[in-house]
Amino acid sequence: MAYQRPKGTADILPNQIGTWQKIESTARKVFSKYGYQGIRTPMFESYDVFVRSVGDTSDIVTKEMYDFNDKGGRHITLRPEGTAGVVRAYVENKLFGPEYQKPYKVYYMGPMFRYERPQSGRLREFHQIGVEALNSESPQVDAEVIDMALELFRRYGVNNVKLVINSLGNAQTRDAYRQALIAYLKPHFDELSEDSKNRLYKNPLRVLDSKDEGDQEIVKNAPSILDYLDEYSSKYFEEVKHLLTKLGIKYEIDDSMVRGLDYYTHTIFEIMSDSQAFGGKFTTVCAGGRYNDLISQLGGPDGGGIGFGLGVERLILLMQQENPDFYSENDLDIYFAYADEEGNELAFELLHKLRNQGFKVDKDYEGIKLSSQIKEAIRRKSRYYVVLGKKEVDQQIIELTKVDGNTEQLTLEDLENHASNFLDNF
């Protein structure tokens, strides 16, 4: 029987991993500039962490979570998103005392799990890169987080994106808007999709986020949440917009954007692309927002937070279209080919010596023809190759050859002890 990976998962193979590693290292460099440090939380949490934070009416909880009872009878969930686990860790480890910076800035990378229909760029096990700025409520922090997200896409060579923002206000805003939205939708109840009928009285804002075409037509004329912002929420949103403009960041306002998770308040945003990777249709590639009540809901202080997350699989689809040359590093510094047994033995010794100096070197171990070894050097994208045989062993002189054909002659002693001089200057 040939075993296969579970549906909705993918093997990340050696010829793909370089791109993943460069995406992650680029993110670490960008986040570090803004004062963020890494955090790693468990891949599974108590079911209640997500029900309490994400919301029991969200699609994640009602349809998509991988949850189960473990052998001790505990209700466990594979994490469907990163924010709730980070906030739980922040609260549990009391990272909000006076000895800690405010905002407390962290980033994470790793696998998430959602049980949904697998499609291109959306798997049941997917990988997310995200940030959280915790225990601070400031329009400047909101603008900085958005600026950092956009810089990340510039570093990835993806410039054809647009920023869409909205405000969900505070609890008072949401309560007032909730009643207005229910009043608007009630006359259309029979026309709504089954999901939206179920959401109407539990969480009507989720109707605005429906993917059903009939629902989308109905909510086109729904009241705008921006008309229900109280004075504080309105001033807060105006300041965020002002700061984005000062930073030269272009944006669009979409007052129907609510995001799929219940914990959001005030500023929310999405970065979208209409790349041909998504058929030319605007698709969200990064999303986030502020969540001022989440920390206290999970037992922490009454402090706000804001963050974003982006899916790596979807990002790679976008980069393959927009910046296919993002990862083009050479696989090897030198590939040693050998013409006879003496050359084979010398090549093996040189591997050890040069690897100890930090060089990436390799050779054939199967005894293939010399011409095939040289082809392998080219296939492996080695910067140089060296052919070794009895002649080179006797004379202690070798030829360092670039794959484009240029050749430099040097002694074995120079290669062993001063390789960096030749590799950097040749």
DSSP state of 397: E
Q: What is the pLDDT of residues 107-130, one digit of tens each?
A: 999 999 999 888 877 899 999 999
**Residue 210 near residue 196 (C-beta atoms within 8 A):** yes
Q: Residue 51: is its pLDDT beyond 60?
A: yes
**Is residue 81 marked as binding?**
yes
Sign (positive or negative) of CA dihedral 188, 193, 194, 196:
negative
| Residue 280 backbone class (left: φ over 0; alpha: ψ -120 to 50; beta: rest) | left
Lowest mean pLDDT among 237-241, 255-259, 308-312, 397-401: 255-259
Give the mean pLDDT of 405-414.
89
The pLDDT of residue 175: 87
Single-letter code of the amino acid located at 349: E
Q: Residue 54: is its pLDDT beyond 70?
A: no
Give the mean pLDDT of 284-304.
90
Q: Residue 190: is its pLDDT beyond 90?
A: no
**Residue 397 near residue 411 (C-beta atoms within 8 A):** yes
Packing angle of the helix pair 14-33, 139-155 (nearest 10 deg): 150
**Is residue 264 marked as binding?**
yes
Q: CA angle, corner 307, sides to 103 and 161, nearest 5?
A: 130
Give the mean pLDDT of 379-405.
92
Phi (first) and psi of residue 93, to 5 degrees: -95, 5
The pLDDT of residue 260: 61
Q: Residue 302: is its pLDDT beyond 90?
A: no
Distance CA 223, CA 184 (A): 8
Distance CA 218, CA 404 (A): 63
The pLDDT of residue 263: 78
The pLDDT of residue 403: 80
% of the chain surpassing 90 pLDDT: 68
Q: Classify residue 353 as exposed, middle or buried by CB count within 10 Å of its CB (0-12, 13-18, 19+).
A: middle
Tokens of 28: 């670490």
Tokens of 58: 């969200």
Distance CA 135, CA 122 (A): 31
Distance CA 324, CA 322 (A): 6
Q: Residue 60: is its pLDDT beyond 70?
A: no
The pLDDT of residue 65: 87
Q: What is the separation of C-alpha 14 from the centre of its chain, rounded to a whole number of angstroms?
A: 19
The pLDDT of residue 327: 82
Q: What is the pLDDT of residues 320-364, one digit of tens each?
A: 999 998 987 767 999 999 999 999 999 999 999 999 999 999 999
Distance CA 131, CA 292 (A): 15
Single-letter code of the amino acid located at 111: P
Q: How many CB atoms lie within 10 A of CB 25?
A: 10
Tokens of 12: 């990340």
> What one-character-per-residue DSSP string does 89-145 give?
HHHHTTTTSTTS-SSEEEEEEEEEE--S--BTTB-SEEEEEEEEEES---HHHHHHH
**Is residue 245 marked as binding?**
no
% of the chain surpassing 70 pLDDT: 96
Structural domains in the chain plus CATH codes: 14-170+230-322 (3.30.930.10), 332-425 (3.40.50.800)
When pLDDT is cut at 50, 70 and 90, the band that residue 426 belongs to is low
Q: Residue 261: is its pLDDT beyond 80?
A: no
Q: Is 366 helix (H, G, I), strand (E, B) or coil?
A: coil
**Is residue 355 marked as binding?**
no
Give the mean pLDDT of 178-200.
87
**Is residue 132 marked as binding?**
yes
Q: How many CB atoms lie within 10 A of CB 286?
A: 24
Give the mean pLDDT of 29-47.
97
Question: How confident is the prediction for the chain on average, in pLDDT?
Answer: 91
424 vs 280, more confident? 280
Tokens of 234: 């309105």
Letter string b/e over residues 256-284, b meaning 16 or more CB atoms within 10 A of that residue's CB: ebbbebbbbbbbbbbbbbebebbeeeebb
When pLDDT is cut at 50, 70 and 90, the band that residue 52 belongs to is confident
**Is residue 213 marked as binding?**
no
Give the mean pLDDT of 389-397.
95
The pLDDT of residue 96: 92
Distance CA 139, CA 269 (A): 13
When pLDDT is cut at 50, 70 and 90, the band that residue 286 belongs to is very high
**Is residue 299 marked as binding?**
no
Distance CA 86, CA 93 (A): 11
Residues across the chain: 426
Give the mean pLDDT of 272-281.
92
When pLDDT is cut at 50, 70 and 90, the band that residue 421 belongs to is confident
Phi (first) and psi of residue 306, to 5 degrees: -150, 150
11 vs 97, more confident? 11
Lowest mean pLDDT among 123-137, 195-209, 216-230, 302-316: 195-209
Helix H, strand E, coil C: the string for 34-73 is CCCEECCCCCEEEHHHHHHHHCCCCHHHHHHCCEEECCCC
The pLDDT of residue 8: 94
Lowest mean pLDDT among 200-204, 265-269, 365-369: 200-204
Give the mean pLDDT of 377-394.
94
Helix H, strand E, coil C: the string for 187-243 is HHHHHCCHHHHHHCCCCHHHHHHCCCHHHHHHHCCCCCHHHHCCHHHHHHHHHHHHH
